[in-house]
Structure 1
Amino acid sequence: MKPVADRGISLSLPAPVIDPQKLLFSLSSFIAAAITLAIAFSASLPRPWWALLTVYVTAQPMAGAFRPKVLYRLGGIATGAAVTILLVPNLQNSPELLVLCLSSWTGLCIYLAVLDRTPRAFLFQMAAFSSAVISFPYLDDPVNIFDTTIARVQEMTVAILCVTAVHALLQPWSATPVIRARAQSFLRHACRWTAEALAGRHTRLENEHRRTLAADITELGMIAVHLPFDQRWAPATQRRVRALQQQLANILPLASAAANRLDLLRGQDALPPPLAQLLDDIAAWLADEGSPVHRAGFLIRRCEALADEAEARADWTSLLTASACVRIAEFLAALAASRRLAARIGSPGRPGFKALSTEPFALARDHGVAALAGLATASAIALYCAVWILLAWPSGSATAAFAALITCSFATQDDPAPVIGRYLSATLRTFPVAALYLFVILPRVDGYEMLVITLAPALLWMGYIQADPARSPQALPMFSCFIVAMGFQARFQGDFAVFVNTGLAQLGGIASTLAVTKMFRSANVLRTARRILRSNWAELAQLADIRRPFLPDRWTMQAVDRLGQVAARMAVAPPGDALHAADGLADLRIGRNIIPIRRALPHVPHDARHRLGAVLSGLSGFYAARWRHGRADPPPPGMLRAIDEALSALLALGPDEPRRAALRALVGMRCNLFPAAAPLAGGQARP
């Protein structure tokens, strides 16, 4: 019989593929950890393991993400330490009141962190986290709380400065390529679903894809915050990202509006052949990623010519055709500008495009959502401590500290239960590795140098996992279990009883956090989504109210941001839930139609102004009623009559630009609010 190798069969396993960037990140974190341990041992800090854990808690793959957060993290640590020194000595004889104050403080910090939604939120989150982990382990014996607090602040400060310095020198990741890749991915995705929508091939998941794109726009701005810390020409790059965000925010409503008009035309079997040919050409341009951007100008001119020709006829089918052509032209212009901006991200020189607004991308903030997160966090921590105090559990203080740590880490999520469940699983898998090191390897290690060499395989492996976005949630529990179990005192102490008690405290903290989270937080996801939708309806009611300030650019950005927030929560809604009936994209399109109507009010005669005012008044009342009732009620029939009267009044006027914009907005509003209504009758031709 021939040998296996002679028969052409290979028994060799495929070589593992190692990502150099992820390995560099892991190596950078390990170097920072080694420096932190050396400083902690040299300065005789009481808890070197705490400093080491802080290194890996604060490490992030993007180099630029460190520097804007350093001051926030240090400020949060100082604030948490000050609260600890203020509360613990003064309330040490009233543990119930002390627990109430600490849990209330933690809830307040989480409220501010959820409300802020910028890197500044790390200040509030770190203040909650540091005060909890400093206070709870020493509530049984608060005599030396001042010295303990100072020691914890020193350990965390040393760790944060070391990891920031090392990653700043080695720069494992830059924010600029991430932004460029995210923007280009957005554009590819947007081109794909827009080509399908314009061609009438609506996929089953189209709405979900479009809402996900809204979340990507918001995330683009979150990453762009780190750009000034990334490179010397970052201010220009940040202006490009701001302009890109605003162009991308226009793509969503424009493309969906065009698809809406085309669906109505196809439903009436009234799609003109020239428009059908134009749509084929646009779809071909969108499908070809290598097609030149300047070809969009030729397509835009064809759209505008068809729109002018259709508007001259002034019947309802022609108005629909003109509206579709105008929205397609505006979409193509925004897409072409976005492509140019995305290509220039990260290159020095002038921005090339001016931002549509001088304001940064406005985030939608909801005090109710933030208050729910803060209240749930405070209630959970108070419940942990009540069980600990009532049962007189010896390890309860450590469990409360771990529970507070985990609660603060995931408090900004609507339903942290699935993440905490994976946290528990990763902790259980790491215990055997920690036991192997503590009882088999470390007893044979002598000296700092050998300790670092011995720890290298485990810490580099965990750091590589941390650099992988798909597996990074597993890294924090692995580091926590491994580092806390080691202890890393100046003199080795391999006590099995201490190891078991520490492990049980960690598992108890995670398990109790998971149980309380399921009781308090898991039911809040749909409630949060409904609150966001109601906030959007309230903003639409104010946008349509002519007595209110008019800030259209800010409204558009916040509406797109809310669309992304709702998208992240729609997945948990059951199929029959009323949440699916609330179309955030339709609300976004209606809001953008309100804007040209309000702008046209000073430029039209009194009678037309009265008709437009009636439409705006009806819209304001309609969305105010939705906000009060908390459900997506259909518009009243009287609003259709008001829109038709305003359309007739505008059709009788001259063709100035404000009138044209308001006319197109009314057509779009009628299509969005009353898609099944009969065609407009009695349209008058222009004089």
Structure 2
Amino acid sequence: MVDPQKLLFSLSSFLAAAITLAIAFAASMPRPWWALLTVYVTAQPMAGAFRPKVLYRIGGILTGAAMTLLLVPNLQNAPELLVLCLASWTGLCIYLAVLDRTPRAFLFQMAAFSAAVMSFPYLDDPSSIFETTIARVLEMMVAILSVTAVHALLQPWSATPVIRARARSFLDHARRWTAEALSSQHTRLENEHRRALAADVTELGMIAVHLPFDQRWAPATRRRVYALQQQLANVLPLASAAANRLDLLRAAPGISPELAVLLDDMTDWLRPGEGNLTQAAVLAAQARQLAVSLEKAHDWDGLLAASACLRMAALLDALVASERLYAGIGEPGGANDASLEDAPFTLARDHGVAALAGLATGTAIVLYCAVWILLAWPNGSATAAFAALITCSFAAQDDPAPVIGRYLIATLKTFPFAALYLFVILPRVDGYEMLVVTLAPTLVWMGYIQADPKRSAQALPMFSCFIVAMGFLPRFQADFANFINTGLAQVGGIVATLAVTRLFRSAGVIWTARRIVRANWADVAELADIRRPFRPDRWTASAIDRLGQVAARMALARSGGDLHAADGLADLRIGRNVIPLRRALPHVPHDMRRHLGTVLAGLTGLYADRWWKGVPLPAPDTLRQHIDDALADLLALPAEEHRQAALQALVGMRCNLFPDASAPHWQAAA
């Protein structure tokens, strides 16, 4: 069954390719194949997604060209130093690209790649580097502008329905998961199942970046989408916290009849398609009223039940707000949009992983060029250029080797097809019109593969092998020796990249997942440290983002390993409990402030130790005693906003850090 949207995308790309090829032939550009390849490298299935990337890619091309003109003429008499400078530049750009996980990363990626492909083929004869660089820039910019114009006209996809579909999927998934957690004994769900929700939250924000470039951005404002992202981020810790409290209640004292009735009503509302927003507001109010009555008993079971009620009420509020914001996406802007903040999530950054990617890329380029220069291989410059293309394209992967291996296989499969065209079909073609008609079946088929997410990784090597092998010069030339040399250069570049990748980037996804978990521990330690700046919103965004990053990697970790034991959701709940404690410090008496500070200092020490040793160490019993002391002091204070928030935060900490501990000592003494 042919998918009309995928076919429309492929036809749009082919039309852009035909226009680019016509302009390249008419303007007598020296490398029309390079312009044609740029069309398919630039094309993106979602219209709103490729426009910001187009702007960044153009900026990257111009930056790479400027670096080429700066380095090559000035260092042409010192090829070793020139290669070192180009490798350092490429490594720096890849470092910045991996560090910046927004569409802006394409600027750095293109700056690295364009400088490499403009410089390496002409290191032996740099006298014409200025004319060559200008030609490469024109070829790539013609291709980028052509594909932008065609896709903007035909608009295969828009960002707005993608955002609506992702948000709807998240809301339905969250409601199903929360209903399961509240209605029965809450067992540990599969790690990837829970963390997939965090991945959806992060992805929603990444798609929202494209809204200003989408033709339909006006009714679906970024403010509304970012506000929805913030609300959805609250759903994760609130749902898991409520389930955690209910687990503890069911394990010992049991659930009171009033709470059981409330749980049944909430479970019915949480089922997708059930209940309305007004009913949710009523249920949230009932939960808060029940929490007030339960807390008056001043015993541990009452505090647990009150905490569960308050978390469920906050969860309902977040889901209601999310549903309202979701309903507004794609609708005319409302008056309340102006009050929403236009600020995306702060994505977590890992300088170590980015530095490793940059170092591996720079080292790989030095090795390519060293082998090329030492062997005096005539096609070695092309090998270095292809190697730079592949290295830059997959530098952000945890372990690029498997992807590069599949890239090699797809390239080898395409060579016979390219030979059939070059030596059998194209010699019988006369004129531009016949050339376009002849190429249509193959390029449309490859474009359809590119539009399929499951097979899109095969498209780039197929396009690269096919288009480069054709040459697409103004005058047809079927040179078998040149075909073999070009093919060997491509395969050599891929093999060299694969070898260097296995040498420098063999740590794999588990190593990266451990780094993410440890970075989260370090951030929790910093959040709890009263000597450090207090940025709760920034921390929450980073924690949610890291939870999403771990999602795709956790499935590869062995079951029962310490990586699974490092429960990111528990750390997220603990971090969110730190926030009301720090906010309450200026509003409680001095003695109480000292007790809260002792709890925070204990948390800082615990998470600092976890970060240092790299394992999820258990919390010391002294920390539990400090939490119990702080709870007893807070219960003796008059009820007010900050006291209530700090009390519930301490209850949450005790539940997450010491789930199997007995009731606090002050209850036993009473």
TM superposition score normalised by structure 2: 0.96
| Amino acid aligned to 1:449 | E
CA deviation after TM superposition for structure 1 residue 406, in Å:
0.5
Residue in 2 aligned with 1:29? 13
- Judge conservation of contact 2:245–2:305 (CA < 8 Å) in 1: yes
Residue in 1 aligned with 2:406? 422
Q: CA separation in 2, counterparts of 1:356 and 1:596?
A: 23
Q: CA separation in 1, counterparts of 2:548 and 2:25?
A: 47
1:264 aligns with 2:261: no
CA deviation after TM superposition for structure 1 residue 143, in Å:
2.6
> What are the residue-to-residue correspondences of 1:149-228 with 2, within 5 Å?
149-200=133-184, 202=186, 205-228=189-212
1:239 aligns with 2:214: no
| Amino acid aligned to 1:621 | G
Q: CA separation in 2, counterparts of 1:256 and 1:355?
A: 29
| Amino acid aligned to 1:422 | R
1:545 pairs, out of 491, 507, 529, with 529
- Judge conservation of contact 2:510–2:556 (CA < 8 Å) in 1: yes
Residue in 2 aligned with 1:336? 320
CA deviation after TM superposition for structure 1 residue 93, in Å:
3.1
Q: CA separation in 1, counterparts of 2:273 and 2:521?
A: 37
| Amino acid aligned to 2:431 | G
1:306 aligns with 2:290: yes
- Point out where structure 2 has 5 or more consecutive residues left out of the alignment: none
CA deviation after TM superposition for structure 1 residue 639, in Å:
0.7
CA deviation after TM superposition for structure 1 residue 336, in Å:
1.6
Q: CA separation in 2, counterparts of 1:373 and 1:163?
A: 30
Q: CA separation in 2, counterparts of 1:212 and 1:522?
A: 26
CA deviation after TM superposition for structure 1 residue 67, in Å:
2.2
Cα displacement string for residues 264-284 of structure 1 (whole angstroms, at most 9, x for unaligned residues): 111114222332232233222
Residue in 1 aligned with 2:643? 659
Cα displacement string for residues 477-520 of structure 1 (whole angstroms, at most 9, x for unaligned residues): 11111111111001111112211221121112112212221221
- Judge conservation of contact 1:376–1:521 (CA < 8 Å) in 2: yes
Moved more, 246-255 or 129-138: 129-138
1:671 aligns with 2:663: no
Secondary structure in 2 matching 1:402: helix
Cα displacement string for residues 241-272 of structure 1 (whole angstroms, at most 9, x for unaligned residues): 11001001101111111111111111114222
Residue in 1 aligned with 2:362? 378
Q: CA separation in 2, counterparts of 1:380 and 1:285?
A: 57
Q: Judging changes above 3 Å, is the alpha-carbon distance between structure 1 residues 536 and 332 closer, same or farther for their aligned structure 2 residues?
A: same
> What are the residue-to-residue correspondences of 1:118-133 with 2, within 5 Å?
118-133=102-117
> What are the residue-to-residue correspondences of 1:478-489 with 2, within 5 Å?
478-489=462-473
1:319 pairs, out of 292, 296, 303, with 303
- Point out where structure 1 has 5 or more consecutive residues left out of the alignment: 1-16
> What are the residue-to-residue correspondences of 1:214-613 with 2, within 5 Å?
214-231=198-215, 234=218, 237-350=221-334, 352=336, 359-575=343-559, 577-613=561-597
| Amino acid aligned to 1:565 | Q
- Judge conservation of contact 1:314–1:684 (CA < 8 Å) in 2: no
Cα displacement string for residues 119-161 of structure 1 (whole angstroms, at most 9, x for unaligned residues): 1111100000101111222223323222111111110011111
Residue in 2 aligned with 1:113? 97
CA deviation after TM superposition for structure 1 residue 39, in Å:
0.6
CA deviation after TM superposition for structure 1 residue 358, in Å:
5.6
Residue in 2 aligned with 1:13? none
CA deviation after TM superposition for structure 1 residue 205, in Å:
4.7
Cα displacement string for residues 503-555 of structure 1 (whole angstroms, at most 9, x for unaligned residues): 12111211221222122113143333222222222221221122322221121
Q: What value does the CA root-mean-square deviation take over the aligned residues? A: 2.0
2:31 pairs, out of 47, 52, 58, with 47
Identity value in percent: 75
CA deviation after TM superposition for structure 1 residue 411, in Å:
0.6
Q: CA separation in 2, counterparts of 1:585 and 1:89?
A: 55
Secondary structure in 1 matching 2:277: coil
1:624 pairs, out of 583, 599, 608, with 608
Q: CA separation in 1, counterparts of 2:491 and 2:277?
A: 56
Secondary structure in 1 matching 2:665: coil
- Judge conservation of contact 2:93–2:111 (CA < 8 Å) in 1: yes
Cα displacement string for residues 205-260 of structure 1 (whole angstroms, at most 9, x for unaligned residues): 53221112111111111111110121365386211111001001101111111111
1:140 aligns with 2:124: yes
Q: CA separation in 2, counterparts of 1:306 and 1:382?
A: 68
Q: Judging changes above 3 Å, is the alpha-carbon distance between structure 1 residues 519 and 148 closer, same or farther for their aligned structure 2 residues?
A: same
TM superposition score normalised by structure 1: 0.94
Q: In the comparison of the two structures, how many residue pairs are matched?
A: 670
CA deviation after TM superposition for structure 1 residue 352, in Å:
4.6
| Amino acid aligned to 1:47 | R
CA deviation after TM superposition for structure 1 residue 351, in Å:
6.5
- Judge conservation of contact 1:537–1:626 (CA < 8 Å) in 2: yes
- Judge conservation of contact 2:45–2:451 (CA < 8 Å) in 1: yes
- Judge conservation of contact 2:191–2:551 (CA < 8 Å) in 1: no
Secondary structure in 1 matching 2:29: coil
Q: Judging changes above 3 Å, is the alpha-carbon distance between structure 1 residues 238 and 191 closer, same or farther for their aligned structure 2 residues?
A: same
| Amino acid aligned to 1:609 | R
CA deviation after TM superposition for structure 1 residue 202, in Å:
4.9
Q: CA separation in 2, counterparts of 1:672 and 1:651?
A: 20
Cα displacement string for residues 268-317 of structure 1 (whole angstroms, at most 9, x for unaligned residues): 14222332232233222222325323321122122222212211111101
- Judge conservation of contact 1:255–1:327 (CA < 8 Å) in 2: yes
| Amino acid aligned to 1:169 | L
Q: Judging changes above 3 Å, is the alpha-carbon distance between structure 1 residues 343 and 418 closer, same or farther for their aligned structure 2 residues?
A: farther
- Judge conservation of contact 1:246–1:356 (CA < 8 Å) in 2: no
Q: CA separation in 1, counterparts of 2:579 and 2:115?
A: 47
Q: CA separation in 2, counterparts of 1:225 and 1:191?
A: 26
Secondary structure in 2 matching 1:682: helix
Q: Judging changes above 3 Å, is the alpha-carbon distance between structure 1 residues 174 and 232 closer, same or farther for their aligned structure 2 residues?
A: closer
Moved more, 387-396 or 660-669: 387-396
